[in-house]
Amino acid sequence: MNNFKLYYEQYQLIEENAKGHLTHLEELLLTRGEQGYDQARQYLLDLLGMLQGKHKRKLKMSVKWDGAPFIMAGKHPQNGQHFVATKGAFAKEPKLNFTEADIDDPKKGYPEGLATKLKAALKFTKQMGIKGLIGGDIMYTNAGELKPMTHDGVEYISFKPNTTVYAVEKDSKLAKEISNSVMGVIWHSSYSDIDDSTKRDISSSEFKQLKKVPGVWMDDAEFTDSTGKVDIDKDEAKQVKDLIKTADGIKVNFKPLTKYLPLINIYLNSEIREGSFIEDPEGSFKRFLQWTANRNQKAIDKLKSKKGRDRKSDASTEQLAELKSFDSNIVNLLKKSKLLQQAKQIFINKYNNAVYNTKHFFDNGDGTLRPSNPEGYVAINNDGNLVKFVDRLEFSRANFGSGKPGAKR
């Protein structure tokens, strides 16, 4: 059917550009259908069992840092030469940089600021003795990005790689280490090959094998609960189980919705940009239909020929009619996704209770700062699969509006 083709080509481009991105837990059923729901459900149960100390299957949790840009670094599997790359490494024709001249190549199209960061990354990662291919987020690439700040009478050293301002108490050991560096990077992923866009969490042994380089502060993203505050009580455990049980009882026929799942997912991101997430499933469905109609009309208006406009208009009418016929099915899909999000938030709140060496702030845009939580967390199961636990209304919406190269979605 050609009605879905109206948007699917554009969605494929989005997917190609997003390789290497992690999926939000509640998005799993929107990207993988019924299998995705089962996976999300299992993540929640595994995490619940782990925090209760009685589950055989354990998850590893890592902290999601709000850095930019993402870089891949290591030796090329074929020629053995060291390189750095952005997420362009995952393109059909990978954009790899072996030299500064590669970074300056106009065909790469790197903005000046990004090119400067890549040159610093190329220089320093070459000295780390990286075995294989690893990925991480840049925190800063020159001492000028480290700023003194004071909040509630406490002095900090701070840096702002993307949306979050990170601050370390000025007199701490960590602050001295950061102050003596000109580049900061958090390593979080490893890859089997350049064309492998499937993230694997970097292991402790892999990270410890990296050589310390003068002028570089680096860390891995593994979460360590040194405070003992990340636990879950009986009432919270019951809330999680009840939410999963309710979601289990909502029936969705995924088969006829498969071709529309990407479109629904894109729409839900637009809801987040507006500051909400399926607050009213029926209302969200009605807004989804209107959003789809508006999106279709914009595509139709760009066509020059009447014949082309008529053809796309007919396809749009057919598509909207089919979506309306799936109303209860799509509403149930939205309800299941919302319940997963609510269960996920319980765990996010627990992890946010932990004390971190780095404090987190949001810039209000008027020179003032407000305390915030970490960007989020990544759960890694026994099979090495990863999924995001992020408060999307707080952080993803901020990233949508950041306008920065490498800002994550």
Is residue 27 in some structural domain? Answer: yes
Reference 127, options 78, 65, 185, 194; nearest CA is: 185
- Segment 370-390 mean pLDDT: 88
Is residue 381 in some structural domain? Answer: no
Q: What is the SS3 assignment for 349-400?
A: HHHHCCCCCCEEEEECCCCCEEEECCCEEEEECCCCCEEEEECCCCCHHHHH
Q: What percent of the chain has pLDDT over 90?
A: 69
Is residue 406 in some structural domain? Answer: no
Domain span holding position 201: 66-220
If asked whether residues 55 and 70 sit together in one domain, one would say: no
pLDDT of residue 199: 64
If asked whether residues 251 and 186 sit together in one domain, one would say: no
- Give backbone dihedrals phi and psi of 268, rounded to 5 degrees, phi first: -65, -30
If asked whether residues 27 and 100 sit together in one domain, one would say: no
Is residue 405 in some structural domain? Answer: no
The last residue of one of the domains, among 220, 251, 269, is 220
If asked whether residues 209 and 83 sit together in one domain, one would say: yes
pLDDT tens sequence across 62-72: 898 999 999 99
pLDDT of residue 18: 38
For residue 5, is pLDDT > 50? no
pLDDT tens sequence across 348-370: 999 988 877 899 998 887 878 99
The last residue of one of the domains, among 220, 254, 273, is 220
* pLDDT tier, 296 (very low <50, low <70, confident <90, very high otherwise): very high
Instruction: Give me the chain's average pLDDT, please.
Output: 88
If asked whether residues 184 and 247 sit together in one domain, one would say: no
Residues forming a β-bridge with 219:
186
If asked whether residues 192 and 292 sit together in one domain, one would say: no
* pLDDT tier, 405 (very low <50, low <70, confident <90, very high otherwise): very low
Least confident of 256-260, 365-369, 400-404: 400-404
- Rounded to two decimals, the pTM is 0.80
**Residue of 402 and 281 predicted with greater confidence:** 281
Judging by DSSP bridges, how do beta strands 183-191 and 216-220 pair with one another? parallel
If asked whether residues 236 and 319 sit together in one domain, one would say: yes
If asked whether residues 41 and 73 sit together in one domain, one would say: no
